[in-house]
Structures are given as structure tokens and as C-alpha cells.
Structure 1
Amino acid sequence: MGRRDRFFIVITTFNRAGYLTELLASIGELSPAPDGVIVVNNASTDATADVIAGAAERFAALSKPVPVIHQELPTNVGGSGGFSAGVERALAEGAQWMWLMDDDVTTLPDAIESFGPWMDKYDALVGRRYDASGAPFFWQHNFSSFLGVFLPARGDVFAHGNEFPTNVGCFEGMLVHADAVAAVGLPDPRFFLTWDDAIYGWLISLTRPVVYVNAFVLRKARAQRSVDLGIRHLNDSSDLSRFYVMRNRGLVAGYLRAHGRFNRAGFALGTALTAGKELLRLVAVERTLRGSSKLWAGWRASRPLLADTDWKPMPALER
């Protein structure tokens, strides 16, 4: 098997049949084509199942047929649970590479070829994205284990080359090799939503490089309200995300402890910074403080996780 063989796309979707239709149509235009597509359906109640069935029929008729696997879950387990199930299924199907993405993006036709030069060197890549208007989408961070948060990198990270070494991941376009997955285990479904990809990238970075590459591979299909802060953009959010961004601080702490990187004072400061960022997002982007109660509820929900002395990280996989 060659280094670039068995390239699978893993999508997690929930009640976004319209966006999923656009994404699957764009995947049908990829050249070269992937070796398989796994769509994890998080118990959607709209026309998602019909969209997947239609794509499976069209992809089967391509000059190089591409299997579309509908992984339907009985309950909504969130983005993290969906990616955990999708990566597990991809490995069972013999995937060597897994390109992870949400349902509200579209792929660029030459995306897989664009990844090619880096697939021979690295096991974890994040490509660039355009936003819904066609402008470059901001994503350039490094994770601070002292604070337990990811911080924006200043300036043009590609000013002196086409690779930016990072230590965080993003499940809106992260490409991972099966070897990297085996080293750290499946994505942790306990996050449900938010922090899961950042921690997954950090875990991989402890064993091998994670690289943000100067290749545009995706376009955001869903327009978002945002504000430009100079060193980064803040996009709109949701009450569900606000709850989990605070609740999952407990899981972030668990991973830091498991790897001997937890600093109580630094982590407390990072939690305060996280809450402050979300309050700023509410005021600057959404023009309201309605939703701030979800931050408090999430922080309270994080306390039992922080106090759980029996908590264990996801286990490595056998290869």
C-alpha cells in the first residue's frame, strides 16, 4: 500500500440536509477522487438520509466508483461523538488517511492533490479555508498547556514558508493518518461539542508534528457573523456551544493531568480568559448578553469532571 492510498472523507452531520447536499456535490467533483466517504448521521430528523442515499447512487456511477457509507447513529452524540464513530468506521474500512469535516463546508476540486506534497512527510495536516464570501478564513493557533487554551498566532504564518508547525487540530478540515490515530486513540466522544479537535491535535503533537499548510482545500458554506480583532476573528456561537466551551474545561484539565502538564493557577487563568472571550463574543458579535447564563452553567458542570480522580483519557489503539 502506498503512502497516499485509502483516502477517506469523514463527515459528521445533524439536520443540515441543504448544506450536506452542497458538500457531497463538491466531493463528487474532487480530482483525484477519495477512496470512500463516511457520513455520520447524528440522528437527523430532516431529509439527511435521502441526501446520503442519493449521493451513494451518484458516486457508484462515477468512472471510479466511490462508496458512500451511511453511519446512522440512534441518538445525537454531538460533533465529537460523530467524529469518534466516523474515524472508528473508517479504520474498519481500511482507511489510511481520514479527512475530517463538518457538514457546512464544501471541498475545492484539487484539494486531495493539494495535500499530496505533505502527505509523504507528516501524519497530521490542516489545510486552509475560505469563508462564505471567498476571503481566507482565520485559523492559526498554538495551544498553551500552561493556560489550557489555544492562542492566535500573530501575523502571516506563511511569510517564510508553506508550513506552520502547530499543536492544535480542527475537525473542519483536519487530515490525519491512521498511525497518528493509533498513537492517541479515537477522538473523545465525551466532549460532545467544542475543545475536542483542539485537544486531539495537541495529543497528536506530543508524538509527531502537526502542520498547518498553505493550501486552500475547503470553503465555508455557512455565512457567520464575525468581528475582526486584528490578531483573530470572533465568530457567532450558540447557547449549546457556550455551555460546552466551559463544561469541557474539565475534560481539558483531565488530558493535561494525564500528560503531566496541568498547572492549577495557569489553568484557572485560562478558564477566566475563556469565559471572557465568550462574553466578548456575545457583546461584540451577537450584540447581547443573553446566553451568558450558559457559561455559568457550563462552569458548574465542569466541577465534577475536575474532581473526578478516576477519569481516564481515550486509550491508544492497537495496529
Structure 2
Amino acid sequence: MENLFAVVVTYNRADFLQNLLDSFDRLSIRPARILVVDNASTDHTADVVARASAAGGTPIQYERLSVNAGGAGGFSRGVELALESGAEWLWLMDDDVEVLPGAVEALGRFTPEYSCLIGRRYDAKGKPFFWQHHFVEALGIFLPVSRDVFRHSDVFRTNVGNFEGMLIKASLARTIGLPDPRFFITWDDLIYGWLAALQTPVVYVNAFVIKKVRVQRQVDLGLRHLNDSSDLSRRYVMRNRGHVAQYLRAHGKFNRFGFGAGTALTYLKELVRLVVVERTLKGIGLLWQGWRESRAILADTGWKPMPSLPSPADGYPGSGSERD
């Protein structure tokens, strides 16, 4: 992969970030640059980045935002910076993971054929992390695929993204535009992958390239796993249903009744998460708050999707001549 940029978004997880940066330096083939977007952290994140930069490992570009723009806002800015800097491939990831030795080579096997792919992950205990989903447009939700998706092939075609290791070609990122910062958190990566899948095959590949480091409470429901969440996520998982609906509308795929059923299923899933994983009912009010906010987004007649971006040939920053 030529000119691979790792785009990392971080917020008040300096020690996790340190571990991730260390793991990059253990790679036999490294990204050309690590681009760290700091969501206005108040811990020692800046010191971690400064030490890593001074150590002379993988080059690091650091930008601290003036406000916490959420994961969605952080990745939107990170993708923008990477494209402006001439990246040809972008490897998007949160701060609470580490990359595994041989990861770049493992993903590189698939890049001659695919422009958007997601590798496999281990959880914090070293066990395979369940992630194989399909976005059902009629319902506006993603559902788990229960079968062994790698039984006959090392490639499973999906239509959702994940910002824990999603790899995307710069030309495709320009076509679909930047990740939408209006999501703040949740749904942003799933919809970004869906937008990519409208243009080209998006694939989940049978190569373990990342390990999750942050330990989460988890319940195995057989068909899928449920992790613990947060009050902020509970609110936004319902609120952002409004943005999901607007994206479906923009692409002529919105089904009012089906989407309503999908919203009810989303609420039920979050209720099960509260009761089964977190063993509480506190947080139900935030689900309702988010749903009410989603209605206002859905009613916004001026809402528009994120625009596509011009290519370097059209004058967008990032062409080789501008860097030289």
C-alpha cells in the first residue's frame, strides 16, 4: 500500500494511546504517517504524542481540536487532514486498540482488488471478537450474520464500516465525502461503510490485524454479542436515527414503516443491553431523549448529506506537485 496513513482519534485515554503508538513501532511494515486527532483531551495525551514523536519511530502528525467533536467529528477532521497531506490509503482506528504484527501485510493481500475493507479483531482476552453485520436498508438497522462467513472464502462482503481498523482508499473517501461529524458518536462508521458500499464492494477479511485493549463487560447471546455502553451512547444511538433516516432518504431508500420498526428494534436492543449487560434500568430516559431529538433531525427539510470532495487533479490539496 502506497502512502498509508493511520488516522487515530483519541480522547482522554493517554495510556491506551501510548500502547497503540508502541504497537505501530513493532510493525515490520509501518504506515507512512500516524495522524492523531485529539478531541480536546484534558489528560497527558499531548505529552504521550510528544515523547513518541521524539523517539523517532513512525512519523506522527498531531492536531488537538479546540472542543470535543466526538468520534465522528474527530474522524471527519482526521480524514480531511490525511487527504490534504496526500494519503493514498487511510487506516481508521480508535485509541483503545493495538495493531498486530504483520497487520499491514495481511491487509495488503486484499488491496489490489478492494478499496474498502475491515480486518478481524481479538477482544481484550485474546478471543476472536464477533463482528459480521449487514445493513438492512428497509429497517435502517444492521443485523448480525450468524453463519461462518469465512467457511468458503477469506472475504465476506458486507455493507457497513467500523472505525476500529477500517481501511479505505483515498479516491473512494473523496467520492463519498468525509465522515459526518453530525453523528458525534455511534452510527457514523456504519453509515460511512454503507456509503462506500453504494460505490464499491466493502469486505470483511479473514485476517486478524487488531486487538481491542479496553476491557468491556459483554454478554454472549449466541447470535450476537452485547457490550456495555454509556449514557452518552444511549442517547446518541437513538438521536442519530434521524441522520440515518436522512441518508436513506437522500439515496431513495427510506421506508417509513420499515424504519419505524427498525427504530423500535433499536430501542429494544438498548433496553436488553441495560438489563442483561449493565443490570440496571437507569438510562431509559436518555433513550427517550435521543428519540425525541431524532424526530427533529428527521423533520429538518434543509438537511443535506456530506458532499463528495474534488480529486487532487481538480485542485484538492494533496497532489504530489503541491507537496514537493
CA drift of 1:50 comes to 0.3
How many percent of aligned residue pairs carry the same amino acid?
61
Task: Tell me which of 46, 55, 61 is aligned to 2:52.
Answer: 55
CA drift of 1:98 comes to 0.6
Residue of structure 2 equivalent to 1:29:
26
What is the CA–CA distance in structure 2 between the aligned matches of 1:179 and 1:208, rounded to whole Å?
12
What is the CA–CA distance in structure 2 between the aligned matches of 1:292 and 1:118, rounded to whole Å?
43
Residue of structure 2 equivalent to 1:316:
308
Residue of structure 1 equivalent to 2:6:
9
Residue of structure 2 equivalent to 1:19:
16
1:207 aligns to 2:199 (yes or no): yes
CA drift of 1:22 comes to 0.6
Residue of structure 1 equivalent to 2:289:
297
Q: Which runs of 5+ in 2 are unaligned?
A: 312-324
Task: Tell me which of 141, 148, 151 is aligned to 1:149.
Answer: 141
Residue of structure 2 equivalent to 1:79:
71
CA drift of 1:262 comes to 0.1
CA drift of 1:71 comes to 1.1
CA drift of 1:67 comes to 1.7
State how 1:1-319 maps to structure 2 within 5 Å: 4-58=1-55, 60=56, 62=57, 66-319=58-311
What is the CA–CA distance in structure 1 between the aligned matches of 2:155 and 2:225, rounded to whole Å?
21
Residue of structure 1 equivalent to 2:319:
none
Q: What secondary structure is seen at the aligned counterpart in 2 of 1:197?
A: helix
What is the CA–CA distance in structure 2 between the aligned matches of 1:28 and 1:57, rounded to whole Å?
13
Kindly provide the amino acid, as one letter, of the partner of residue 168 in structure 2. V
Q: What secondary structure is seen at the aligned counterpart in 2 of 1:89?
A: helix
What is the CA–CA distance in structure 2 between the aligned matches of 1:92 and 1:316, rounded to whole Å?
14
Contact 1:149 1:270 in 2 (8 A): yes
CA drift of 1:154 comes to 1.1
Contact 1:147 1:266 in 2 (8 A): yes
Kindly provide the amino acid, as one letter, of the partner of residue 139 in structure 1. W
What is the CA–CA distance in structure 2 between the aligned matches of 1:95 and 1:31, rounded to whole Å?
20
What is the CA–CA distance in structure 1 between the aligned matches of 2:297 and 2:226, rounded to whole Å?
28
CA drift of 1:74 comes to 0.2
CA drift of 1:57 comes to 1.3
Task: Normalising by structure 2, report the TM-score.
Answer: 0.95
What is the CA–CA distance in structure 1 between the aligned matches of 2:248 and 2:224, rounded to whole Å?
25
CA drift of 1:92 comes to 1.1
Kindly provide the amino acid, as one letter, of the partner of residue 249 in structure 2. R
Moved over 4 A (4+): none
Kindly provide the amino acid, as one letter, of the partner of residue 6 in structure 1. N
Contact 1:155 1:231 in 2 (8 A): no
**CA deviations over 1:144-176 (Å, ceiling 9, x no partner):** 000000000012110111000000000111001
* Count of aligned positions: 311
CA drift of 1:31 comes to 1.3
Contact 1:131 1:221 in 2 (8 A): yes
Kindly provide the amino acid, as one letter, of the partner of residue 245 in structure 2. A
Task: Normalising by structure 1, report the TM-score.
Answer: 0.97
**CA deviations over 1:79-111 (Å, ceiling 9, x no partner):** 000000000001111100110000000000110
What is the CA–CA distance in structure 2 between the aligned matches of 1:174 and 1:185, rounded to whole Å?
15
CA drift of 1:295 comes to 0.3
Kindly provide the amino acid, as one letter, of the partner of residue 32 in structure 1. I
